[in-house]
Amino acid sequence: MAIDIKSPKEVEAMRAASLMAAETLCLVGEKLRAGMSTEEINTIVHQDTLKKGGRPAPLNYRGFPKSVCTSINAVVCHGIPGPQILKDGDIINVDITTIYGGFFGDTSATFYIGTPSAQARKVVEIARTCLELGIKEVRDGARLGDIGAAIQQYAEANGCSVVRDFVGHGIGRRFHEDPQVKHYGRRGSGERMKTGMTFTIEPMVNLGRFEVVIDPDDKWTVTTVDGSLSAQFEHTIVVTKTGSEILTKRPKPLRLSENVATVFA
């Protein structure tokens, strides 16, 4: 599949879908608390997405049964909302993808529930920085491998690992397009980035080993093979002539995630 270069009009449409996803993620942050279930998170996301005029992309995507992915502690990605109750000390990644105007916007963040452990703080803040470093590598003419190299180098230098089995992806009129955006690798490798390319960067960082396992029963839930904590942050990006634009840039800081001074107080 060829890489789809978006026109300015298409980027504008993606910007609208991406902003919706970012706003819904902010709403989740406002509502999160110990004692709530992940099913409640699903309801918040589903209702807010419909209220905005969008559709939740995960719902029925390849059989996924819910409108959002909720991944707690050792769950790396694709956690299915249900009766599980959030507890003090948990970390949870909430992954939201909105369809609006025929385009997709995809974003996620990891939140702290209550008082985080030192290990939880470590893996979350390293994952956050990994995304920031990956975005800094985005510019017309650079290689996709530069993104992965920057992320892997930082994560491993700080005693963490980067998941190999799940990567970033092109996005636009389809949920998943070319190219694949690996969060590991070497500089100077991979496709050259071009103005108008749109993709996600979404490093999944583990406190222990990088290997993961998929739940044999639900066929979706991905966990670390050694039970170690995992954290992830994600943005949808467009390559520009001067660098990049974060299409899923949030209108305000995320409660229980970006306001870390309050979380750690």
188 CB-near residues (< 8 Å, 6+ apart): 143, 145, 146
20 CB-near residues (< 8 Å, 6+ apart): 49, 52, 54, 98, 100, 105
Query: 2 falls in which pLDDT band (50, 70, 90)?
Result: confident
Query: Is 3 part of any domain?
Result: no
Query: Is 66 part of any domain?
Result: yes
Query: Is 138 part of any domain?
Result: yes
Query: Is 16 part of any domain?
Result: yes
Q: How far is CA 21 from CA 2, 24, 142, 216, 257, in A?
A: 26, 5, 28, 30, 16
CATH code of the domain covering residue 194: 3.90.230.10
CA dihedral (147, 259, 11, 64) positive or negative: positive
Q: Averaged over 222-242, what is the pLDDT?
A: 97
Whole-number average pLDDT of the chain: 96
Three-state SS for 134? helix
pTM score over 0.85:
yes
19 CB-near residues (< 8 Å, 6+ apart): 105, 247, 248, 249, 251
Tens of pLDDT, residue by residue over 27-73, are 999 999 999 999 999 999 999 999 999 999 999 999 999 999 999 99
Residue 185's Cα: distance from chain center in Å?
A: 19
Query: Is 135 part of any domain?
Result: yes
Query: Is 1 part of any domain?
Result: no
Query: Is 2 part of any domain?
Result: no
Identify the domain containing residue 84 by its residue range.
8-263
Three-state SS for 130? helix
Tens of pLDDT, residue by residue over 160-218, are 999 999 999 999 999 999 999 999 999 999 999 999 999 999 999 999 999 999 999 99
Q: How many domains does the chain have?
A: 1
